[in-house]
Amino acid sequence: MIRFGHSEILYLLWLVPALVVLYWYIQKNQNKLLEKFAGTKLHKILFPERSLFKSAIKFGVFLFGLTLLIVAVANPQIGTKIEDVKQVGIDVYILLDVSRSMAAEDIKPNRLEKARFEIAKLIQKLEGDRIGLIVFSGQAYIQFPLTSDYSAANLFLNAVDFNSVPQPGTNIGSALDLALKSFRYDDGTKKAIVVITDGEDHEGNIEGALSEANSKDVVVYAIGFGSQTGTPIPVYNESGAQIGYKKDNQGQIVLTKLDEATLKTITEKGNGKYYRGSNTEDELDKIYNDLAKIQESEYGSKKVTEYEDRFFYFLFPAIFLLIAEFMMTSKRTKWLDKFEQMRKGELK
């Protein structure tokens, strides 16, 4: 199997026919100018060293060297063998709270931004594990399903903001239900859920979701962001300037508090651990260390072809030809004159 490491470079091969046309056009114009200057019979007398045949050979050597150089830069590769690579790991769904209370700035720069930062760092550390992201507030939605494509996961993570879920509120139970329904249980992989929220649950059947998690051997972790004393939720205008704080219907400033009791209950019943979010520590990193202790299971395989570079087969001849073309002159040589005479004699 042959492929090119940089196949886009092959578009430069269009230069070859373009240069041929340009060379033909220049030679044609030169011949016309010479014919105006002097008759054809006088050319050998006036330009005894000029050889059109040798000029054409010199140009041909240059074109061939250029073609080989372009192919070399495109990096031709040959597949040496195809083998099945087992994919092993665990399945992790992260449930991220995107309700307005996560805009509080008791965790810098705010609760949601700190959570996104930790998730991005976790994605960088994963090797073979599949990760999925569910965003929730009043309802829960899958931001991206379980995947081992960490680049795509980061792209979808960057798109998360407070507008990702239109329904207000905090429905942890709905997010847990959605995660449990989204797992595949026929592959035998170990499964874990990580809930990142301030814990202010206003709706949802958490108890039912935890019972199902236990029955399906899914471990539930939680990270709580926020202060227990309460902090206001800043409001910003379109220019990014703070214009005040969120208020309730009576005009009072809303204070959002961390509900640690709910999160501790979730992790105790979910056979996991609870971590208190902070400005200085990476709580997801601690959870990753816990997840690393879970026995990894094979969840599939994929065919991988090993490719070896073969650019040097083209690069060295290209360099040789381009140096040879540089060293060549357009002056007549006896052996080329004899060859040209023989060629013309055969054509008659």
Per-residue pLDDT of the chain (348 residues; tens, 9 = 90+): 678 888 899 999 999 999 999 988 887 887 776 666 565 555 555 455 556 667 788 888 999 999 999 999 998 888 666 555 454 578 999 999 999 899 999 888 999 999 999 999 888 888 778 899 999 998 999 999 999 899 999 999 999 999 899 888 889 999 999 999 999 888 778 899 999 998 776 666 889 999 999 999 999 999 999 888 888 989 888 888 888 998 888 888 988 888 888 899 999 999 999 999 888 888 888 888 887 776 554 445 555 566 778 888 899 999 999 898 888 776 666 655 565 556 555 444
Question: pLDDT of 25-70, one tens digit each?
Answer: 887 887 776 666 565 555 555 455 556 667 788 888 999 999 999 9
Beta bridge partners of 88: 298
33 exposed, middle or buried (CB, 10 Å; 0-12, 13-18, 19+)?
exposed
Q: Assess contact for 63 and 70: CB atoms under 8 A.
A: no
Contacts of 249 (CB under 8 A, 6+ apart): none
Q: What residue ranges define each of the domains in the chain, with the CATH number in brackets?
A: 2-75+311-347 (no CATH), 87-302 (3.40.50.410)
DSSP string, 36-100: HHS-GGGHHHH-TTB-HHHHHHHHHHHHHHHHHHHHHHT-EEEEEEEEEEEEEE-EEEEEEE-SG
Distance of CA 251 to the CA centre of its chain: 47
For residue 336, give the 3-state DSSP assignment. helix
The beta strand positions in 270-347, using DSSP E, are 274-276, 297-309
Q: Assess contact for 234 and 132: CB atoms under 8 A.
A: no
The pLDDT assigned to 298 comes to 47
Indicate the length of the chain as a whole number. Answer: 348
Question: pLDDT of 219-276, one tens digit each?
Answer: 999 999 988 888 898 988 888 888 899 888 888 898 888 888 889 999 999 999 999 9
Beta bridge partners of 86: 301
Rounded-to-integer distance, Cα 104 and Cα 199, Å? 13
Q: Assess contact for 180 and 213: CB atoms under 8 A.
A: yes
The pLDDT assigned to 338 comes to 63
Ramachandran angles phi, psi of 68, nearest 5°: -65, -35
Q: Would you say the pTM of this structure is higher than 0.85?
A: no
The pLDDT assigned to 83 comes to 57
Q: Assess contact for 140 and 95: CB atoms under 8 A.
A: yes
Buried b (16+ CB within 10 A) or exposed e, 141-161: bbbbebebebeebeebbeebe
Buried b (16+ CB within 10 A) or exposed e, 102-135: bbbebbeebbbebbbebbeebbeebeebbbbbbb
Short-list 288, 324, 328, CA closest to 89 = 288
Q: What is the DSSP letter of 240?
A: S
The pLDDT assigned to 85 comes to 46
